[in-house]
Chain A
Amino acid sequence: MRSKRVLSAVAVAAIAGLVVTACGSGDGDGGSDGAGEINLSLGEPKSLIPPNIGETEGGAIARLVYSGLYDYGNDGSLVPVIADGQPTTTDNKVWTIKLKTGFKFQNGEEINAELFKKSWDFAVDGRNANGGSYFFSKISGFADTQSGADPDGEEGPKKGADPKADELTGVKAVDATTLEITLDKPWVIFPQLLGYTAFFPTAEGCRTAVDACNETPIGNGPFKFVGKWEHETAIKLTRWDEYTAEKSSYKDLNFKIYTGSSVAWPDFQAGTVDIAAPTPDAYNDAKSTYGDKMIEADSPSTWSLGYPVYDEIFSDVKVRQAFSMAIDRQAIIDAIFQGQGKVLDSLTPSMIPGFKAGTCAYCKVDVEGAKALLDSSKWTKGKKLELWTNTSPTGEKILKAIGDQLNKNLGIEYELKTLEWPEYLQKKTDQEITGPFFTGWQPDYPSIENYMAPLYSSIAKDGSDNDFGFYNAQYEALMAEGDTAPDMNAANAKYQEAETILGTELPIAPLFTRMTSTVIGERIDFDSVNRNPILGTIDFVKLKLA
């Protein structure tokens, strides 16, 4: 019976060993403040330098750490922060902005008109390769701040020349509190851009040490960094008490960064994250559990099916219209997103200023109409249709659903063409795609103009140098009239006319927007939650603890 004792000794040791490991790790008790702390989730930002921020994650942090001239209200209007009142102009070409005094950076630098000018010179300089520099492209002198074109093309050894100018001549600091911005030509929409992060100021100490500033931003906003940006792990902020505008009622704001396959939802259920979006498979469950604490809202990002208008067959508008009419958008939303989407019947979603319903005349399902149109078009019967998307589960699912519908409704055989994301984007730019393709649009500033001009307008005269190879003289004329209209309302009327042309000519078939759902945890006072439909984020400064 001796062996038994030995073995039980081993087993006991095994269990004891486990207990020891468990106990040995009880250190590092960082304390729990309880009150005064809000914990949120975030994806990994790409950059935290304001003019280089192009995505929601970086934008969310930047809006807490930095303050700009303006913020966006829930209706997309400009809410002055550092600016004193709305921008003024007499001709829509020269804009004057007055600044408030008393704003400072967290390193003590004072914020005045001159600092904004320097920040913007830094933003546009070609050598800094800031992703948001294109926001300044309509300000005069922009072209001279860009690096020259590569003289021997991508494959040659030579590099483009350095920029001709160090500063943006269109921006002038008239005095400490007055900024004057001159555009190349009148553009009534211009102020709408000013709430975007690209126009946020950057401290001298940040511009001279960009990489360090990216790790620990020198902000001027309601929050400041605690330690560094812990990449792919966490960002910790705390209230900056010297901030002169609206401050938070709680002290610490911690973001846990989720990347790859990790998601915030289980942590929300466990109570360690205060606000989170349920995973798609947990949606129904979340809705029944949290019901009235769940915010469901439409998103400003649109998803569409683009047409290669430069292609022989798709140059025929009837083919484009027929395909659009043969797609049952609601069925796709129901099948793939559990109904969490909204069918688009115009090119813009409804929360955007200037939105007009029903500008797309061919976005409703009409199988008979589609068949008739297709029969009288350039489409050759029996041809195999190529549907293009980048390799992503969602994109492939949606295009497969579209393909199946076209097959059922119009009897067209299709083939899915998938490409890796970089190659897909390049092929799109190079107009090498030979069939309808999946495309999305995230607006840069709240105006219907932003859903059209960057995509379908032509840079060269009489050209078709956009991704779609689309050119329509009447559309171009209406957009130009809108740009030079005396005020925003008159401009939007022109833009809506232009949108109606796109809705008939269909360089793309608008599909849908996704609905987002967010659940607010019990530690947060639900009444303090203010979600901005334009930015698609909650105003974290206004949050209160329950």
Chain B
Amino acid sequence: MGRYVIRRLLQAVLTFGVVMFLLHYLMSLAIQINGNPVRTFFGDKPVSPELLAATKAKFGLDDPCLSRVGDPCLNLFGKRMSDWASFDFGTNFNRADVSELILNAIPKTLQLFLIVTIVWVLFGITAGVLAAMRRGRFLDYLVRIGTTLTIAIPGFLLLILTQKIIGVWLGNWAREEFGRDSVLGIMFQPSYNARYPWLTLLVPGIVLGIFGIAGITRLSRTSMLENLRADFVRTAKAKGLRQRRVTIVHTLRNSLIPVITLIGFTLADALGGSVITEGIYGIPGMGKLAYDAVKKVDTPVIIAVTAILSVSYMLVNLLIDLLYAVLDPRIRYE
């Protein structure tokens, strides 16, 4: 197990290096092809070459390689990596410290994802299990139609509708009925409120959870169905074990292996969804940070955010692989 973890971590370091360089190269190319973003600070206004040069220097975008298309800008890359080694992530175009921006953003995205994961586990897996146990009956059809619907509705549409219907209409009703500071009045809010982080994250969290829920529900259902017919379940039943033990210990636990893999991957996908969710609900998390930075070609932020995302992606994958061993005693990493 220990050797396996070390090998995986070494692979991760290599992957990380490649990701960083590719990203750096793409960002440099973007500047080389699309022009230096510093010029946009002045908009349509005429700007003297001296002021432009001084501003480029201020934001570290004055390296001559940035005007040679295709130049990999190795100097800049080396400088960035050595800054990172001393935990200096630089400043963004608004002169804000990037490390601080990220440290402020991470908790919000984690809170959002915690809600998303709870939604998946509570609703997704439960619905899948229930559908499998009631196969071919009303509940099964309901779950199957429901999952198809959640896939068919585009995410942003659902977000905008929820914002309007739950945040504004239902929220205004609740605020009028129970008062502005009632739990429902705050929970049904069209956007994030830093005073009540958990309450205002609940609705967008559930909506974001709906994006990935279909796959998880369907997979739990299929997996349960498969295992319900497995030999070991029949044996367990024949042995006279209690129904609860058969369902939970023998069937459910074995059915969860593929589901957990999927949760890991879907979480990574949900990072994409979080860009839209955080954008529409104004949640100052990683997704919004990345989205705003990309729009401004704010290189230091984009690279730092992507670095953190790729590290967490690799860690989540490692964690999933290790979870296999816990859930299935037959799997051993030696």
Closest to A259 in B: B292
Nearest opposing residue in chain A for B275, CB measure: A260
Q: How far is the CA of A440 from the CA of B42 in the complex (A)?
A: 12
Q: From residue B180, how far is it (CB to closest CB) to chain A in Å?
A: 7
A266 near B163 with CB under 8 A, answer: yes
- Please give the distance in Å from B95's CB to the nearest CB on chain A: 5
Docked-complex contact B129 and A10, CB < 8 angstroms: yes
A-B CB contact pairs (8 Å), 22 listed: A6-B244, A17-B118, A18-B122, A21-B115, A26-B196, A32-B181, A46-B94, A54-B42, A127-B54, A129-B55, A131-B41, A150-B49, A155-B64, A159-B62, A232-B101, A266-B168, A270-B168, A271-B175, A422-B39, A423-B33, A425-B40, A439-B44
The answer to whether B172 and A271 touch across the interface, beta carbons within 8 angstroms, is yes
CB distance from B32 to the nearest CB of A (A): 10
Q: Contact mask B86-99 → A, CB, 8 Å, 1/0?
A: 00000111111000
Which B residues contact A (CB, under 8 angstroms)?
31, 33-51, 53-55, 57-58, 62, 64, 67-68, 91-96, 101, 104, 115, 118, 122-123, 126, 129-130, 133, 163-164, 167-168, 171-172, 175, 180-181, 183, 187, 189-191, 193-199, 201-202, 242-244, 247-248, 276, 279-282, 284, 288-289, 291-292, 295, 297
Contact of B46 with A270 in the complex, beta carbons under 8 Å: no
Of A3, A266, A440, A454, the residue contacting B46 (CB under 8 A) is A454
Closest to A127 in B: B54
Q: Closest chain B residue to A390 by CB distance?
A: B40
Most B C-beta atoms less than 10 A away, residue of A22, A25, A45, A271? A25
**B67:A260 contact, CB within 8 angstroms:** no
Which residues in B have their C-beta under 8 angstroms from that of A180? none
Closest to B283 in A: A262
Docked complex Cα distance between A207 and B319 (Å) = 49
Q: Is the CB of B101 within 8 A of A260?
A: no
Q: Of the listed stretches A68-76, A141-149, A239-247, A486-494, name the one at the interface; the rest are far from the partner chain.
A: A141-149
Check A11/B126 contact, CB under 8 A, given A21-B198, A22-B183, A28-B197: yes
Q: Is there an interface contact between A129 and B175, defined as CB atoms closer than 8 Å? A: no
Interchain CB contact under 8 A, A147 and B242? no
A442 to B67, alpha carbons, bound, how many Å?
A: 29
Q: Determine the chain B residues whose CB is within 8 A of the CB of A234 once the complex forms.
A: 194
If A155-B64, A262-B280 touch, whether A47 touches B39 (CB-CB below 8 Å) is no
A12 to B303, CA, bound (A): 44
Contact digits for A1-28, partner B, Cβ 8 Å, 1 yes 0 no: 0110111001100100110011011101
The CA of A216 and the CA of B167, in the complex, are separated in Å by: 33
Contacts of B51 in A (CB 8 A): 126, 129, 131, 133-134, 146
Dominant SS among interface residues on chain B:
helix
- The yes or no answer to A272 lying at the interface (CB within 8 A) is yes
Query: What CA separation (Å) do A129 and B118 show in the bound complex?
Result: 49
8 interchain residue pairs of minimum CB distance: A25-B198, A422-B35, A266-B190, A423-B35, A420-B34, A262-B282, A129-B54, A2-B243
Q: Is the CB of B64 within 8 A of A156?
A: yes
Cβ-based interface call for A108 (8 A): no
CA A176 to CA B198, docked complex, whole Å? 54
Contact call A259/B288, Cβ cutoff below 8 A: yes
A426 beta carbon closer than 8 Å to chain B? yes
Task: Please determine whether B172 and A126 come into contact, CB atoms closer than 8 angstroms.
Answer: no
Complex CA–CA separation, A48 to B35 (angstroms): 26
Report A-chain residues with C-beta under 8 Å of the C-beta of B281. 262
Residue of B nearest to A18 (CB): B122
Contact B187 A22 (CB under 8 A): yes
Q: Assuming the A-B contacts A47-B94, A134-B47, A232-B284, are A25 and B202 also in contact, with contact meaning beta carbons closer than 8 angstroms in the complex?
A: yes
A135-180 residues with Cβ-Cβ distance < 8 A to B are 146-150, 154-157, 159-160
Instruction: State A444–B191 Cα separation when bound (angstroms).
Output: 34
- Asked if A441 is an interface residue, CB under 8 A from chain B, the answer is yes
Q: How far is the CA of A146 from the CA of B198 in the complex (A)?
A: 51
Q: Is the CB of B101 within 8 A of A14?
A: no
In chain A, positions 87-140 with a C-beta closer than 8 Å to chain B are 126-129, 131, 133-134
A28 to B33, CA, bound (A): 48
Q: Which residues of A413-450 have CB atoms within 8 Å of chain B's CB atoms? A: 419-426, 429, 439-442, 444
Are B191 and A266 closer than 8 Å at their CB atoms? yes
Does A215 have its Cβ within 8 Å of any Cβ on chain B?
yes
Asked whether, in the complex, the Cβ of A422 is within 8 Å of the Cβ of B36, the reply is yes
Asked if A422 meets B34 with Cβ closer than 8 Å, knowing A25-B199, A54-B41, A149-B49, the reply is: yes
A272, B193: Cβ atoms under 8 Å? yes
Closest chain A residue to B297 by CB distance? A422
Does A211 belong to the interface (CB within 8 Å)? yes
Q: Who on chain B is nearest to A423 by CB?
A: B35
Nearest B residue to A45 via CB reads: B94
- Say yes or no: A131-B288 contact (C-beta < 8 A), given A44-B94, A155-B64, A454-B46: no
Shortest Cβ gap from A209 to chain B (Å): 12
| Chain A residue, CB-CB nearest to B139 | A7
Q: Is A542 an interface residue (CB 8 A)?
A: no
What residues of chain B lie closer than 8 Å to A429, measured between beta carbons?
46
- Cα–Cα distance between A194 and B172 once the two chains are bound (Å): 45
**Contact A126 B44, beta carbon cutoff 8 Å:** no
Give the residues in chain B near A129, CB-CB below 8 Å.
51, 54-55, 57-58
Q: Are A21 and B202 in contact (CB under 8 A)?
A: yes
Measured CB to CB, the closest approach of chain B to A438, in angstroms, equals 10
- Which chain B residue lies CB-closest to A49? B95
Query: Inside 8 A of A54's CB, which chain B residues have their CB?
Result: 41-43, 45
Which of A7, A148, A261, A426 interacts with B279 by CB under 8 Å?
A: A261
Min C-beta distance of B293 to chain A, whole Å: 10
Say if the beta carbon of A531 comes within 8 Å of chain B: no
